[in-house]
Amino acid sequence: MSPLETSLAVTRGLHIALALAGWGLPAFAILVLKAPEGPERAALIGILRRWTRGAALAALVAGLAWFAAQAAVFVGDGTPSAILGALGPTAGTRYGHVLIPRLALLAAAVAFGGRLPIKALAGLLGLSLALHAAVGHVAVTFNAAALPGLVAEMLHLLAAGAWLGGMAGLLLALARPALAADLATRFSPLGVTCVTLLAATALLNGVGLIGGLAGLIGTPYGQIALAKAALFALMLGCAALNRWHVSPGLARGTVGIGALRLSVCVELVLGTAVVALAAWLASIVPGAHDQPLWPFTRKLSGEILSDPDYGGMAWKAIALTGLGLVATLLAILPPWPGAWRRPSPAVRLPALAVAAASFWFGVPDLDLLTVQAFPTSFWSSPTGFTAASVAEGAALFPSHCARCHGAGGAGDGPDAANLSIPPADLTAHHLLDHSEGDIFWWLTHGMPDPDGKPVMPAFEGQLSEDERWALIDYIHTLNSGSTVAEAQGVWTWGMPAPELDLRCPAGPLAKAGSLADLAGHPVLLAIGHDDVSAPALAAVQATPVVPVIIATAADQAPPPGTCGGAVPEAAVAYRTIGGTADGPMLVLIDSRGALRRVWQGPFPATPEAVAQLTAQTADAERHPFATGGGGHHHH
């Protein structure tokens, strides 16, 4: 992180920590500091109100510093004059539209907090804190799909504030030993509720941001999230100690108040560290949008489960291992009052024997569920699978790959016979079982034969990273073209359509600037149809598809009522991916961006052709591919 980014993370973390305390202190007063009424309670309310206003004031100052740091990052300059000049543009962003009302609520709490009822003060600070969810990673897009995550993030913030700020309130209350035992007991239900909300909302939003197991252990975001989870687990340990040992002991007089103070202080320190890590996470790229480095030589794979020779062994290994785990739990789980009574030794000993036998026969075959992995195995292509990248790969393939793999990729190049092992057949359907990251690793570092001798050279020094990704895009289109040609122009899996830049007519599609912008509409893509008759065009426009005509001349506008563009690379990409020769071609793309059919020949004009196109479009919409638009789009 640069110094500007570091200052951004620090000021953000400080502001959030103080905002959490500002909401949590009055929440403690409302939810925990209840009856009995009396001078002790009134005095505590007064103390909590003063600390609340102090926390709100400090959060306001830290928020202004965060706003200035964001302005500095916005322009890439931390000088005072640059920051002052960037404050206006920063205020006009979504970040500014959220932060400024939040700071106004904090200012209102500071100005009027001495006269407002404690519930109204808590309402101001709680609203300010909840609105912070609108500037996090979860709220990148404001739409209906993001609403559950946004609500979960708000609940996460409020629960964190009630827990951490509540502990700060409890620490202040411990200055009055006469109330300590009662307040510690009353705080426990609030702590349990907050912890439950924190865990549930973190799981809901964290899974999508981390990006699976690879993102968890292979990206900075995931690794920081693991550290945050570890600190949270330690906080849970402190909370459990308070709930089951310290608070009851305090009530019985067997534990001193100093033990509770120490435990709460440790929990607050851990909570502050968790908030700091959360601020760090908010300042870096989520793991789901990063390229994870896989640290192991193997990765999980379910391909073997459908294998006719080894699938049965894999299923047996899973069943035996599962049986062993169940038997182990039966034997070692401690009793749980009211729910679980520990079995007698007559049951536990046979259960341990069953567990040992199950593990002995099941665990060794679990390696069938793994395949070789590389550091880049979980990388995804950054190209967006465009026609331009496919065409670039097509230009590179003859000079770098064809001598071994052959001009058509079938592994029959002129140098193939001289290799110690045959080159891969790039037209075989099982090529799609290999991840883009695996293929990128082989292109980058080469591939050895069983004796360790290089059988495919490393292209890291010959091709740039972008060129290697372009080759991978072309290899995927080459593979698709071969299998689709065998299937007589029909795709049976979710192969995405290569991306194109387009122009669309005035109307509902006027803002569409690319093929991806037509998502939700089936598309009939025509390449090599420069002269489309008006009757043919009218016939196609009467179907559910959006006609898209790619011209060969750079200055040729699409016919009225159609989308189109002049994309020289489109012919290369689509003729390769459709397995067609030169000449006019038509490609049906479903509303999810997946390729469905390809034809060679003129633009359809007869009623029979239009009826067939309509029927095939309707069938494609009724039977979408399980993978949607395929696995190679990464916008």
Q: Is residue 41 predicted with pLDDT exceeding 80?
A: no
DSSP reduced 3-state for 605: coil
Which one, of 57, 137, 141, 136, lies nearest residue 98 by Cα? 136
DSSP reduced 3-state for 386: strand
Which residue would you say has higher pLDDT here, 29 or 441?
441
Q: Is residue 95 predicted with pLDDT exceeding 60?
A: yes
d(CA 485, CA 475): 15
At 36 the pLDDT is 56
pLDDT tier for residue 391 given thresholds of 50, 70 and 90: very high
pLDDT tier for residue 613 given thresholds of 50, 70 and 90: confident
* Angle, in degrees to the nearest 10, between helices 177-210 and 39-75: 30
Average pLDDT for residues 611-618, to the nearest whole number? 89
At 221 the pLDDT is 92
Which residue would you say has higher pLDDT here, 330 or 325?
325
State the amino acid at position 542 in one-letter form: A
Q: Identify the architecture of domain 515-622 in CATH.
A: 3-Layer(aba) Sandwich (3.40)
What's this model's pTM, rounded to 2 decimal places? 0.81
DSSP reduced 3-state for 594: strand
Buried b (16+ CB within 10 A) or exposed e, 578-594: bbbeeeebbbbbbbbbb
At 338 the pLDDT is 57
DSSP reduced 3-state for 372: strand
In angstroms, the Cα distances linking 565 to 513, 536, 548, 557 are 10, 19, 8, 7
d(CA 403, CA 397): 9
- Which tokens sit at 334? 């401690």
In 364-499, which ranges are E strands? 370-372, 447-448, 454-456
Tell me if 395 sits within 8 A of 402, measured CB to CB: no
Q: Is residue 628 predicted with pLDDT exceeding 50?
A: no
d(CA 250, CA 265): 17
DSSP secondary structure, 470-539, as one string = HHHHHHHHHHHHHHHHHTTSB--S-PBPPB-B-B--SSTTTT--BGGGGTTS-EEEEES--S--HHHHHH
Domain range annotation of the chain: 3-289, 304-371, 387-486, 515-622
pLDDT tier for residue 563 given thresholds of 50, 70 and 90: confident
Share of the chain above pLDDT 90, in %: 38
Tell me if 548 sits within 8 A of 515, measured CB to CB: yes
Residue 90 sits at φ, ψ, to 5 deg, of -65, -40
At 630 the pLDDT is 41
SS3 content of the chain, % helix, strand, coil (to 5): 65, 5, 30
d(CA 130, CA 136): 11
Across the beta sheet with 546-551, the strand order is: 563-566, 546-551, 523-527, 585-589, 595-600
Which one, of 563, 437, 458, lies nearest residue 500 by Cα? 563
Q: What angle do CA 151, 155, 159 make, to 5 degrees?
A: 175
d(CA 131, CA 101): 9
Which one, of 391, 383, 402, lies nearest residue 440 by Cα? 383
Buried b (16+ CB within 10 A) or exposed e, 66-78: bbbbbbbbbeeeb
Tally the C-alpha atoms within 13 A of residue 477's C-alpha that lie toward its C-beta: 30
Buried b (16+ CB within 10 A) or exposed e, 252-285: eeebeeeebbebbeebbebbbbbbbbbbbbbbbe
Q: Is residue 243 predicted with pLDDT exceeding 80?
A: no
Average pLDDT for residues 381-406, to the nearest whole number? 93
d(CA 606, CA 113): 77
State the DSSP code for 340: B
d(CA 486, CA 480): 10
Share of the chain above pLDDT 70, in %: 93
d(CA 459, CA 439): 12
At 473 the pLDDT is 95
Which one, of 126, 118, 139, lies nearest residue 29 by Cα? 118
pLDDT tier for residue 324 given thresholds of 50, 70 and 90: very high
Which one, of 476, 472, 280, 474, lies nearest residue 376 by Cα? 472
Which one, of 66, 20, 60, lies nearest residue 271 by Cα? 20
d(CA 190, CA 165): 12
d(CA 322, CA 299): 20
pLDDT tier for residue 38 given thresholds of 50, 70 and 90: low
Q: Is residue 627 predicted with pLDDT exceeding 80?
A: no
pLDDT tier for residue 629 given thresholds of 50, 70 and 90: very low
Contacts (Cβ under 8 Å, ≥6 apart) of 347: 330, 331
Average pLDDT for residues 70-98, to the nearest whole number? 88
- Among 27-36, 87-96, 113-122, 288-297, the least confident range: 27-36
Which residue would you say has higher pLDDT here, 500 or 189?
500
d(CA 481, CA 493): 13
- Among 98-112, 495-509, 556-570, the least confident range: 556-570
Q: Is residue 632 predicted with pLDDT exceeding 50?
A: no
* Mean confidence (pLDDT) of the chain: 86
At 142 the pLDDT is 52
For the domain spanning 387-486, the CATH number is 1.10.760.10
Which one, of 335, 374, 337, 331, lies nearest residue 353 by Cα? 331
pLDDT tier for residue 167 given thresholds of 50, 70 and 90: confident
Which one, of 520, 607, 528, 609, lies nearest residue 564 by Cα? 528
Which residue would you say has higher pLDDT here, 438 or 532?
438
d(CA 33, CA 440): 61
Burial of 115 from C-beta contacts in 10 A (0-12 / 13-18 / 19+):
exposed
